Structure 1
Amino acid sequence: MSAISSIEARALATLESVAYRSAPEPLRRPTPPPEPYPLAELGDVLKPAAESIRRVIQAPDAIIGGSLLAAASLAAQAQADVHIDGRTIPLSLWVLSVAESGERKSAVDSEAMRAAREYEKELANAYAEDSEQHAADVAEWEARRDAAKTEAKKANGDGMADNLRKLGPAPPVPLLPRVTAADFTAEGIFRLLSEGRPAIGAFTDEAALVFGGHGMAKESVMRTAATLCKLWDRGELDRVRSGDGAAKLYGRRFALHLLAQPVIAERALSDDVLAGQGFLARCLLAWPEGTAGTRTYQAESLRDDPAVQRLATILLVRHRLALPLAEGQRQELAPRALVLDADAFAAWRTLHDTVEGHCGPSGRFAQVKPWASKTPEQALRIAGVLTLLENPDANRIGKATMERAGELALWHLNEALRLAGTAELSPEIRDADALLQWAHATGRSTIYSRLVLNKGPSRIRERDAFQRAIGELVRAGWAEPIEGGRRLDGAHRRHVWRIVPANEGR
């Protein structure tokens, strides 16, 4: 390098250093790290299985805990309700877990839902046999009906009504053998609960199917959210349509677990309808830090793990329990009552009053009042699920279980508080943040448009999205355009930007 070239290089470095003397503005409010997930509070059935899944799959604790709680709720929700001061609280839990691709959400979901999927196979096999028997029963019923009509016609119709009443209605069709649904609409859930089992769940490791599907489209999201909220609250649904009249369903239960990537979760959290209808506030939120990059291969099969096998067996037994039905009904549930003993009630009341005391204008939970207002009820639901896991015949919730459930509910409330403000970010800011994080993670002090469009974050690999994102970085002082471009990666690049290192932006 010539002396002149050396001087020019030092001058350029000096200019770049001067350009970065003013610290850039933050793009978003710094999000504090999550608190450790209280895995120990899951109890004697879920905790050992959670520890085994963590050891082998090595997913974030909150993903494991949320998956197991949701699967347990699906298995237990039909059997009992919590009764407290004249109110009936279903055991249905809704969980929204957020993690990047590669955080092994699907692997955890597969283990948590093993029993439910096995039971669904059993129902499908039985449904095939029942359908054959139903066809034969209907043929016999129709023959008897036709004979009754023929006999009555010979007597000028006398006795036809009595004969048909004695014959009774046609044999009912077998219930649809569904335990879960992945992609759904309000109408689809209504149909499934009308024609199938009265206790089901929406479980998917691809929440984009839900939040990006027809049920959550702009014209239908309000109806879907309102429908689901009624199910969570009271286990009831009603529908009025000009074509098929009015119908109302009672005694239904609906659990839910949506595993989402951040880009999908951000859209959901920023949806005013989902927030305003209370759908999100009914969800136990979890957005843990990832474990990718820290995992070593474990040569171990969870199919042979005693704790995971025990959990699968217990959940399968709970699924197979006879449904407690209202008298004369084959789909309306009448779950038995679970009550709190005196010590458990005292613990729950302390939780209730403590959370409520922090909901005022200057309180800790002022920003997340919708979630805070549901937390005492969430604790009751979790306590009921944990109780039935350990004793399927239980009718009382003890203090220790109530305290564990309270810790779990409070963790999710604090998680909602930690994430407060995420919904307020514009897509441009989220894209800019993703671009900056990518540049820092890959150690790039300069970037150019073609590089980002080919190798950058997937959410900004379109030119318009990239231009908006880089514009936000320039305005905030995190990026500076290099006039005239620069030669990089073997070619002259026209559109080049310097990126402020992370340690200079503190």
Structure 2
Amino acid sequence: MCANGQRFAIGEPEAPKQGKPLYRLPELVRAPKEAPVWIVEGEKCADALAALGLVATTSGACSSAAAADWSPLKGRKVILWPDHDDPGARYAEDVVSALRGRVAGCELVEVAALGLPKHGDCVNWLAANEGATARDLQALPRFEPEPETELEPSAPEPLRRPVPPAEPYPLAELGELLAPAAAAIRRVIQAPDAIIGGSLLAAASLATQAQADVHLDGRTYPLSLWLLSVAESGERKSAVDAEAMQAAREYEKELAKAYAEAADSHTRDLAEWEARRDGAKAEARKKSGQGLAEKLNIIGPKPEPPLLPRVTAADFTAEGLFKLLSVGRPTIGVFTDEAALVFGGHGMAKETVMRTAGTLCKLWDRGELDRVRSGDGASKLYGRRFALHLLAQPVIAERALSDDVLAGQGFLARCLLGWPEGTAGTRLYRSENLRDDVALQRLLDRLLYLHRLPLPLDPGEKQELSPRALSLSREAMELWCRLHDTVEGHCGPGGRFAQVKPWASKTPEQALRIAGVLTLLEDPSAQMIDASTLERAAEVSLWHLNEARRLVGTAEVSREVRDAEALLAWAHATQRRHLHSGEVLRLGPSRIREREAFSLAIGELERAGWAERIEGGMFLDGARRRHVWRIVPAEEGR
């Protein structure tokens, strides 16, 4: 505590750490043991008190307490008089922390900061009380020490159920092309394995999804994969995504160049067609329209514009996606390292999220879209493919995972979830250029080759895909049946996957899709999935299922707990050791700037041990505050 007048009990001594000597140490050592030692902030304050005949010392400026050697205070009575500001409050707590457990027999009493102006110190007090003596200072109002019955405080409890750590991501199961490339990215960029693996797997899905489907007992499973990968800012999501998507970006540039040439040619063809049509109409008008149909037949249909050269998009609505797949290529992906663009965009707004989620689910299931509008009637698209990889920060992912519509519509259950532990703080710089890595370049060459393959279109169609069939070998079929039955057996009441049945029910299909992607990636002309590939795909799909089991539900916490987390994060970020209600309502997080919300949030922090109400209040921010709480620093709560 810093200015609340409470006594701090100092524990049993430890071996003192050598540090910076205290200021005015010779006078302190020579002073009688019964003389109290005044601790202030800064040499000027210590000199001012020493001039009155008091024993005074300091470690220096407000951030110096931890570096000082406080052992000379052993067995002394100590009076701590902090400056009246936030740095002074922190200095007082740092002094107490430095003394606790190291200096035996200290009896620490704080002087109330009554009468000090904001940012004031003892020098200001002496100036305002001209002629004051040591006796006057000794007579300042102080809180008398309470009997020493303090117990060791317990650590704060978490505000929500702790999430167990993620299992290691099975990078080795990604196969002979993806796994070595992933190892290279991990070695140089040093991002979490699941971010790397998910990014590469999604890029491979985008490159292969148009070429084949898995066929099993009359059912068709596209190779489109959806992934939702979560990591804090600074975990190098963007750097990994940039490497994984190189081939797609390069191919998109090639398409754009070809589109520009095709658009010029289309403009000329359209002008000629319109001129011939208009001429035929003009001539037919002279004959009351006679022969117009025949001439229009000869002229032929209106030239079709080239397809829009889009391979990926970062933001979308259901309407926009339908239009893009109507006039663009039939295979596309939404890839973004800012998932807030999707979850916070118009397509996921409250009034549109249901339609968007339903639209996307149809694409994942069958590659179909339909739309009925009063203005342009009904239309339906077949043979489309849509891959998805959203890289999200935790706050965005939590909102998505707790969204009832996204969960209820099945959008989230179709996503392979990944939320790995971060690597920040362990990433020493490596002087290595990934452009020179043979494994990564080999993968990028294969992805670019797959993108450049002609699209397998339905006869007579320009945009409707007709991917070839991938079947399962006999051994692969047996393995898949075991996977299906094992997962299903854990979905009943009390089963391992009972709480994540929507994800579990999709896992066997996810394994087929992943196996198809890995098969085409390693052999673009393959017709069959072998058992080895399916086994690797099963391992990856089960890892994602276990991630869903680990994560789903952690976002389903009350508004009060979320507000408490926001309040605690704000207090820690602004290094506040004390809070009073007026300050929070004026300056705190916007979500708790109402008294009721604040009361519920601070109550959660009190119950968890992160906040301690100071009975009777204290002098803080230039005034006496009735409602004050001490906040446990982040480092003490670990």
Return the TM-score normalized by structure 1.
0.91
| Alpha-carbon offset, residue 499 of structure 1 | 4.2
Identity across the alignment (%):
73
Per the alignment, residue 224 of structure 1 pairs with 356
Per the alignment, residue 66 of structure 1 pairs with 198
Deviations 1:361-406 (A, max 9, x none): 1110000000000000000000000011001111100111000000
Per the alignment, residue 371 of structure 1 pairs with 503
Structure with greater helix share of residues: 1
CA contact (8 A) 2:214 2:221 kept: yes
Q: How does 1:85-484 map to 2 (within 5 A)?
A: 85-433=217-565, 446-448=577-579, 463=593, 469-483=601-615
> In structure 2, what residue type is equivalent to 1:63?
I
| Alpha-carbon offset, residue 202 of structure 1 | 0.6
Q: Residues 48 and 491 from structure 1, CA distance in 2 versus in 1: closer, same or farther, beyond 3 angstroms?
A: farther
The structure 1 residue matched to 2:212, chosen from 59, 80, 88, is: 80
Residue 43 (str. 1) matches residue 175 (str. 2): yes
CA contact (8 A) 1:176 1:197 kept: yes
| Alpha-carbon offset, residue 164 of structure 1 | 1.2
CA distance in 1 between partners of 2:109 and 2:356 (Å) = 63
| Alpha-carbon offset, residue 430 of structure 1 | 3.3
Deviations 1:189-230 (A, max 9, x none): 001000100000111000001101110000000000000000
Q: Equivalent residue of 1:178, what SS? A: coil
Deviations 1:447-495 (A, max 9, x none): 4369x98xx9x9779745776543321133332122455679x988956
Q: Residues 491 and 386 from structure 1, CA distance in 2 versus in 1: closer, same or farther, beyond 3 angstroms?
A: farther
Give the aligned CA root-mean-square deviation in angstroms: 3.0
Structure with larger RCO (C-alpha < 8 A, sep 6+): 1
Deviations 1:399-445 (A, max 9, x none): 11000000000000000001131231124323434665787899x89
CA distance in 2 between partners of 1:214 and 1:123 (Å) = 28
Unaligned stretches of 5+ in structure 2?
1-35, 38-76, 80-106, 111-143
CA contact (8 A) 1:127 1:177 kept: yes
CA contact (8 A) 1:446 1:496 kept: no
| Alpha-carbon offset, residue 112 of structure 1 | 0.6
| Alpha-carbon offset, residue 500 of structure 1 | 5.3
Of stretches 465-474 and 64-73 in structure 1, the one that deviates more from structure 2 is: 465-474
Return the TM-score normalized by structure 2.
0.73
Q: Equivalent residue of 1:423, what SS? A: coil
Q: Residues 463 and 291 from structure 1, CA distance in 2 versus in 1: closer, same or farther, beyond 3 angstroms?
A: farther
CA distance in 1 between partners of 2:383 and 2:248 (Å) = 21
CA distance in 2 between partners of 1:290 and 1:244 (Å) = 49
Q: Equivalent residue of 1:238, what SS? A: strand
Q: How many residue pairs get matched? A: 500
| Alpha-carbon offset, residue 298 of structure 1 | 1.1
| Alpha-carbon offset, residue 162 of structure 1 | 1.9
CA distance in 1 between partners of 2:299 and 2:147 (Å) = 95
Of stretches 4-13 and 284-293 in structure 1, the one that deviates more from structure 2 is: 4-13
CA distance in 1 between partners of 2:576 and 2:288 (Å) = 96
Q: Equivalent residue of 2:227, what SS? A: strand
> In structure 1, what residue type is equivalent to 2:487?
V
CA contact (8 A) 2:209 2:517 kept: yes
Q: Residues 105 and 462 from structure 1, CA distance in 2 versus in 1: closer, same or farther, beyond 3 angstroms?
A: farther
> In structure 2, what residue type is equivalent to 1:143?
A
Unaligned stretches of 5+ in structure 1?
none
Of stretches 157-166 and 398-407 in structure 1, the one that deviates more from structure 2 is: 157-166
> In structure 2, what residue type is equivalent to 1:274?
L
| Alpha-carbon offset, residue 501 of structure 1 | 7.6
CA distance in 1 between partners of 2:302 and 2:573 (Å) = 67
CA distance in 2 between partners of 1:427 and 1:260 (Å) = 21
CA distance in 2 between partners of 1:69 and 1:234 (Å) = 20
Q: Residues 419 and 174 from structure 1, CA distance in 2 versus in 1: closer, same or farther, beyond 3 angstroms?
A: same
| Alpha-carbon offset, residue 307 of structure 1 | 1.3
Q: Residues 144 and 292 from structure 1, CA distance in 2 versus in 1: closer, same or farther, beyond 3 angstroms?
A: same
CA distance in 1 between partners of 2:272 and 2:635 (Å) = 81
Q: Residues 12 and 146 from structure 1, CA distance in 2 versus in 1: closer, same or farther, beyond 3 angstroms?
A: farther
Deviations 1:133-181 (A, max 9, x none): 0000001111221232234334432221122123221000111111111
| Alpha-carbon offset, residue 13 of structure 1 | 10
Q: Residues 493 and 38 from structure 1, CA distance in 2 versus in 1: closer, same or farther, beyond 3 angstroms?
A: farther
> In structure 2, what residue type is equivalent to 1:448?
L
CA distance in 2 between partners of 1:497 and 1:150 (Å) = 87
